[in-house]
Structure 1
Amino acid sequence: MNRIFVLDNQKQPLSPCLPARARMLLREGKAAVYRRFPFTIILKNRTGGETQPVELKLDPGSKTTGIALIAEVKTGKVAVFAAELNHRGAAIKKVLLDRRMFRRNRRARKTRYRAPRFDNRTRRNGWLPPSIQSRVDNSLTWAKRLRRLCPITTVAVETARFDMQQMENPDISGVEYQQGTLAGYELREYLLEKWGRRCAYCGAENVPLEIEHVVPRSKGGSNRESNLTLACRDCNEKKGNGPIREFLATKPELLKKILAGLKRPLHDAAVVNAARYALGGALKSLGLPVSFWSGGRTKFNRTGQHYPKAHWIDAACVGETGAAVKLDPKLQPFSVVASGRGSRQMCRMDKYGFPRTGPKGARFVKGFRTGDLVKAVVPAGKKTGTHLGRVAVRSTGSFNVTTAAGTIQGISHKYCRRLHRADGYGYTNKPSA
């Protein structure tokens, strides 16, 4: 399981401790809960102390970014914390498309002329679409947050494609250059992501997959990724060097799907490539040494240690130190879901673009705001009991609390106690202690 973050009485990070140790300190009154997500304690009577250097590792993805903290302990390099950060790029894109539709509808109505303003706007250097910029901002936010809770000394991120072979041997060239230790890893990983890690012909999963030329080399087929797919050994041997239309003559739907897939760009890979330089520059603002590593090296480290595929495991295997890292098979990654910090839209629209609600009210009501994690203890009435969940505030002071069992409406603010402030993220698992 994840270790618990520890702060001294000056709020300076100390080395993470085991959950059992944290429970003992809390039980003896030597520490107090400082933060629920991720769970952090603060010591009452300790200032400073020796700490172990911790390395922050990131495996950026289009939908999910893997995060791992690796510390040097007596048994070697061990993952002391792991998390998976789920982005909201698709939600941001949908909101922007709706806004564009509403604006176009308003301009098309028979109203006074409104001069377009898009010609007056300029984009700064390094501008990224909001759906991609949010991925960079989320990763940077959590890097800063973890740095405040843990003594991080270095950062390793899977971003740029550094040529590890040339770094080891500057004179490498020709076939020798192409057939090094990491030969084929980048292309193979690309195809695995594109075809869902399954055989394109029979759909077999969790079996050895081979790179298959749709148009055989003997018939003039190329080695471009648009001519490559993945197949299990049986399907690869059955197809041989025959044309794919004959091989799938009895499966027209599958043939159509594969031919369309060959032309389909790898959208997720394009998103990651677009943001990789921005993420690298953002992480450098932390003032820590940052190293960049290729996805091929990450996969090489992971498969060499026989670890399963997971975002947080890929993060732990990033870089040179990822070649020998110990991972607890019982460790459950801390799940973080980016939910945003509310909307700037003044009122909600119907499908035609007309306002359907009044202006937004006050953000804070009775000291609470929508999204806070609260514990509501209702002593009497139909809602008697203890309710733990996210709160939706109302100007009347009667709130809605969304729990795992459903939404409880009409709970007075007098019965609510805030456990965790809304910070733009949701957490799907319980704290470790």
Structure 2
Amino acid sequence: MAPTSVGYPKVFVVDAEGKPLLPCHPARARKLLKSGKAEVLRGSPFAIKLKQAVENPVGSLRAKVDDGSKWVGIALVNEFTGEVVFRGVLVQRGDVVRLLTLRREYRRNRRYRVVRHRECRNQNRKQVVPFPSIRQKKEAIYRVLADLAKIAPISGVDVELVSVGVKNPALPGRDTREKVLNRDGACVLCGSTEKLQRHHLVPRAKGGTDTPENQVLLCAECHRKLHSGEVVSSRKGKTFAWRAHAVLGKAYLLALLSCFGEVRACEGWQTEKWREGLGLAKSHANDALSLFPPERLLKIFGPEHLIYPLRRRRWEDNPTKTCEERNGFRHWDVVRAVRAGKVVFGCVRSLKARAMTLRTAGDGNFEVSYSKAKLLHRPRGLAYVPVW
């Protein structure tokens, strides 16, 4: 039976000492605010702070993480009641490799300049594992969970680890060789059953995976002709490039998540099985909340969120950011805008003379007028954009 969705979101609660409590109903939060027993703590995700301490708080939430290279699904689930109090998709930064390369070129330019020359010192530096481009993606996941742990009692983490091995039991066989042999049975080009060999559609030297999806069965003669260019195969392989950042930092990610409590790990085929059992559509947020589903029926509260990790280091006098504020709006402000009768939520991308552009769920450059936009939240390190 599919989970039920509720339109209103849960309100996060923190006591006077800063201890996170279980989220409450919006009506209860409204009564606490009107009676003066609580005050607004933050705007997104919305949280209130009680004016009295709570001794021995009851209940906890479990964080769910669907790791990925570009998008990471994150959810907070109460396994006792089956309530999904928060779900979102972390949009990973894709400019780190370019910035690292640019910094390296600047350093080399200074080092080999004629006016001031010094010898190379990069041999003295210790190699950091994982690489900075991979490490920042794993640390972004930690930043989101650490931020949510300030307002939610997280007692453990469930994470789906990206794997390039052969773990899917859908194909019969103990290893990759047997799975490919049982799937094809004969040469895919001529149908021969003699001198069968495995062929990688995308070579491993070019980032191809060693999974059955990237391999086909060929006879020795067709294998030779394919490599010599006499015949061409129409089947496409599976590359490893898009999984590289998600796979290489698994141990580092598990070490970061261990500070939130017990960590349970699973693989993609298990997540797919659980998600199909719940009757949910394929999405990163749904994959996250499907990890290790509780026995109770899931009840999803509120909208999905897009989470943008902001750069911690500001570049002063940036020539590309000449306008810091216009009409009360700044970069990365979360706003609610109306255009052509359609209500959209997004964060500010650019501030122009007559209009501004937003990052939304459907458009990364959505233009709206200043008079049709309303400021909802000004983020500090993470921007949470609701997707209604």
TM range (shorter): 0.5 to 0.7
Shift of 1:101: 2.9
Please name the residue that 2:289 is paired with. Answer: 316
**Residue type of the alignment partner of 2:253:** L
Shift of 1:332: 2.5
**Residue type of the alignment partner of 1:339:** L
Gaps of 5+ in 2: 1-5, 174-182, 201-208, 223-231, 337-345, 360-365
Root-mean-square deviation over aligned CA pairs = 5.1
Please name the residue that 1:273 is paired with. Answer: 247
Shift of 1:16: 0.8
Which residues of 2 match residues 387-406 of structure 1 at below 5 A? none
1:4 pairs with 2:11: yes
SS at the partner of 1:282? helix
| Contact kept in structure 1, 2:65 and 2:74, CA below 8 Å | yes
Shift of 1:94: 1.4
Relative distance call for 1:140 and 1:98 in structure 2 (3 A) is same
Shift of 1:103: 3.2
Please name the residue that 1:111 is paired with. Answer: 115
Please name the residue that 2:178 is paired with. Answer: none
Aligned with residue 22 of structure 1, among 11, 29, 54: 29
| Contact kept in structure 1, 2:347 and 2:383, CA below 8 Å | no
Q: Deviations over 1:216-243 (max 9, x none)?
A: 284725397668559xxxxxxxxxx99x
Shift of 1:328: 4.2
Shift of 1:336: 0.4
**Residue type of the alignment partner of 1:77:** G
The separation in 1 between residues aligned to 2:356 and 2:52, in whole angstroms, is 37
The separation in 1 between residues aligned to 2:312 and 2:287, in whole angstroms, is 29
Please name the residue that 1:133 is paired with. Answer: 135
1:62 pairs with 2:69: yes
User: Which has the larger helix fraction?
Assistant: 1
| Contact kept in structure 2, 1:317 and 1:323, CA below 8 Å | no
Q: Deviations over 1:163-196 (max 9, x none)?
A: 9xxxxxxxxxxxxxx99xx613899xxxxxxxxx
May I ask how many residue pairs the two structures share in their alignment? 340
| Contact kept in structure 1, 2:79 and 2:294, CA below 8 Å | no
| Contact kept in structure 1, 2:186 and 2:193, CA below 8 Å | no
Please name the residue that 2:91 is paired with. Answer: 86
Q: Deviations over 1:264-284 (max 9, x none)?
A: 622232221111110001111
Aligned with residue 126 of structure 2, among 114, 122, 135: 122
Relative distance call for 1:115 and 1:16 in structure 2 (3 A) is same
| Contact kept in structure 1, 2:278 and 2:290, CA below 8 Å | no
Shift of 1:83: 1.7
**Residue type of the alignment partner of 2:100:** L
Relative distance call for 1:50 and 1:285 in structure 2 (3 A) is closer
Shift of 1:317: 2.0
1:335 pairs with 2:321: no
The separation in 1 between residues aligned to 2:159 and 2:335, in whole angstroms, is 35
Relative distance call for 1:185 and 1:158 in structure 2 (3 A) is farther
Which residues of 2 match residues 301-380 of structure 1 at below 5 A? 301-319=274-292, 322=293, 324=295, 326-328=297-299, 331-343=302-314
The separation in 2 between residues aligned to 1:24 and 1:6, in whole angstroms, is 13
Aligned with residue 13 of structure 1, among 8, 20, 31: 20
SS at the partner of 2:16? coil
The separation in 1 between residues aligned to 2:137 and 2:154, in whole angstroms, is 21
Relative distance call for 1:278 and 1:226 in structure 2 (3 A) is closer
Please name the residue that 1:237 is paired with. Answer: none
**Residue type of the alignment partner of 1:21:** R
| Contact kept in structure 1, 2:160 and 2:266, CA below 8 Å | yes
The separation in 2 between residues aligned to 1:227 and 1:66, in whole angstroms, is 24
Shift of 1:406: 5.7
Gaps of 5+ in 1: 164-177, 188-210, 231-240, 246-254, 349-356, 376-387, 394-399, 410-417
Relative distance call for 1:420 and 1:331 in structure 2 (3 A) is closer
Aligned with residue 268 of structure 2, among 270, 289, 295: 295
Q: Deviations over 1:374-400 (max 9, x none)?
A: 99xxxxxxxxxxxx976999xxxxxx9
The separation in 1 between residues aligned to 2:36 and 2:377, in whole angstroms, is 21
State the TM-score, normalized to the length of structure 2.
0.67
The separation in 2 between residues aligned to 1:427 and 1:212, in whole angstroms, is 47
Shift of 1:422: 4.1
**Residue type of the alignment partner of 2:135:** Q
- Identity, in percent, stands at 27
The separation in 1 between residues aligned to 2:311 and 2:172, in whole angstroms, is 33
The separation in 2 between residues aligned to 1:302 and 1:85, in whole angstroms, is 19
The separation in 1 between residues aligned to 2:213 and 2:56, in whole angstroms, is 55
Q: Deviations over 1:262-318 (max 9, x none)?
A: 2x62223222111111000111133x2222222232222112222211112211222
| Contact kept in structure 1, 2:111 and 2:118, CA below 8 Å | yes
Which residues of 2 match residues 26-45 of structure 1 at below 5 A? 26-45=33-52
State the TM-score, normalized to the length of structure 1.
0.61
1:222 pairs with 2:232: no
| Contact kept in structure 2, 1:185 and 1:299, CA below 8 Å | no
Relative distance call for 1:186 and 1:290 in structure 2 (3 A) is farther
**Residue type of the alignment partner of 2:384:** Y
Please name the residue that 1:208 is paired with. Answer: none
The separation in 1 between residues aligned to 2:334 and 2:66, in whole angstroms, is 29
**Residue type of the alignment partner of 2:136:** S
**Residue type of the alignment partner of 2:59:** Q
Q: Deviations over 1:409-429 (max 9, x none)?
A: 9xxxxxxxx975543322332
The separation in 1 between residues aligned to 2:19 and 2:108, in whole angstroms, is 51
